[in-house]
Amino acid sequence: MKVTLSCLSALLFTLTFVSASIAQSPKKPDATLIHSLSWLVGGVWTADATNLGPGMKRIETRYQWSDNNAYLRFTTHFVSEKGAAHTYDGNLFWDPAAKTLAVWYMDAQNAVTQGPMQIDGDNWRITFRGEDFEGKMADLRVDVVRKTNDKYRWTLQEKQGEQWKELAGLDYVRMPGV
């Protein structure tokens, strides 16, 4: 009986110590920053693309959590009179090596784009190298500003000297759907 009580006491002490250690251990808040983008999940984010070229109708972007709930996956389709082109597929995630949020995506021609991402309240910014509309490599950035839980403004800008020039801007509105 004494042995059993001693073992039980030791077990309770160990569990209390482990529980206290877990409660006091520092959390990794940076790795959970990606969850501040939870408002994007659900529905189909749609932007009017009729001004982007002949036959263009809209751009549709969908966001969903990965199976392990660690990153956001997104897909972007360009819808025209000819049908839907599955243009981009990528991820928004915490990059532990760089200690920052980041984006990685591939387009339909297998070109990979990646870069760091910062979130400041309702604004988020992604910077990367990529081709501009003339096909030249350039420093680019995307700014997204949440207007409401069902609307955001997306802008693409190119660095020219010390300034950023807006190349395109779209308003996305969440539509019900899968």
Q: What is the pLDDT along the chain (178 residues), one digit of tens a residue?
A: 444 333 333 333 333 333 333 344 344 446 688 999 999 999 999 999 999 889 999 999 999 999 999 999 999 999 999 999 999 999 999 999 999 999 999 999 999 999 999 999 999 999 999 988 899 999 999 999 999 999 999 999 999 999 999 999 999 999 987 5
Write the CATH number for 92.
Answer: 2.40.128.20
- Asked whether residue 22 is assigned to any structural domain, the reply reads no
Rounded CA-CA distance 103/85 in Å is: 21
Q: 72 near 49, Cβ under 8 Å?
A: no
Rounded CA-CA distance 70/28 in Å is: 13
- Asked whether residue 100 is assigned to any structural domain, the reply reads yes
Structure tokens, 177: 């759907």
- Asked whether residue 10 is assigned to any structural domain, the reply reads no
- How much is the pTM? 0.79
- Asked whether residue 137 is assigned to any structural domain, the reply reads yes
How wide is the angle at C-alpha 107 spanned by C-alphas 101 and 109, nearest 5°? 150
- Asked whether residue 42 is assigned to any structural domain, the reply reads yes
- Asked whether residue 4 is assigned to any structural domain, the reply reads no
- Asked whether residue 104 is assigned to any structural domain, the reply reads yes
Reported as a single tens digit per residue, the pLDDT across 18-48 is 333 334 434 444 668 899 999 999 999 999 9
Tally of domains within the chain: 1
| Domain hosting residue 76, numbered range | 30-175
